[in-house]
Copies of this chain bind each other. A is one copy, B any other.
């Protein structure tokens, strides 16, 4: 993978944005590896993402950013630049079920995940050995109804200690406290084991079996204070029929869950997801 800078922009739409941005990039010698635009005609908002070859710039990233601030000011942009060689630090939260955690750890171990797994925090100790094989620090923080405030204080302290950029709830099975949702807004990614907005809340495979649906699914979304209501990043489904028991649904669903979570997380790690209101723009060119 080439060393690139990712320039991510959103702003009110108007004529000339692309020209000014492209002109600025070209002016510094920037070679564009990938470019995506989107205009949301409903609310007049413009979204843009560029991958610029780092080696092509005739100046430092710092100077490039400083210079770009003028373009940004002219168009009232929200923007940032990320550096592919400074991958995001990932804290994985888990419980007892291992399929999502094992899948992400394996992808990371094989250099497939464009991020750095810095720690695993789990409310049970079951997965310690697996995590430690990957040489990733494992923190067991039990959560009980009584100890919830202390447990999440400890959890947040661990996340802070590792300076994690993104928290992934890999079937964590605990509801984060509202304050933590706000503190880490747009930084916590969950995998819900249904095709949202169907079957919010607990036991979605039981709900799916009860309703007799012919497809089951999974949803990767940002966590907000409203359970299972945050912006959706990625979804997928698999076909089932009357012969499948709830155990079958769980088994088939696990394959969808882990794939959807890995795809959604990848989009986030590569800065492909732009949040606007409760929806996402996902640039997967």
Contacts and interface: CB of A to CB of B under 8 A. Distances in A.
Interface of A: 1, 15-16, 18-20, 22-23, 25-27, 29-41, 56, 98-99, 102, 106, 110, 112, 129-130, 133, 195-199, 211-215, 217, 231-237, 239, 241-243, 245, 247, 251, 254-255, 259, 262, 278-282, 284-285
16 contacts: A15-B29, A18-B22, A18-B25, A18-B32, A33-B39, A33-B41, A36-B36, A106-B106, A112-B251, A211-B232, A211-B279, A212-B280, A213-B232, A213-B235, A241-B282, A242-B279
Number of copies: 4
A280 B242 contact: yes
Nearest to A106: B102
A285 B37 CA distance: 9
Contacts of A27: 19
A242 B36 CA distance: 12
Contact of A232 (B102, B214, B236): B214
A284 B39 CA distance: 14
A19 B15 contact: no
Contact of A26 (B15, B130, B241): B15
A26 B16 contact: yes
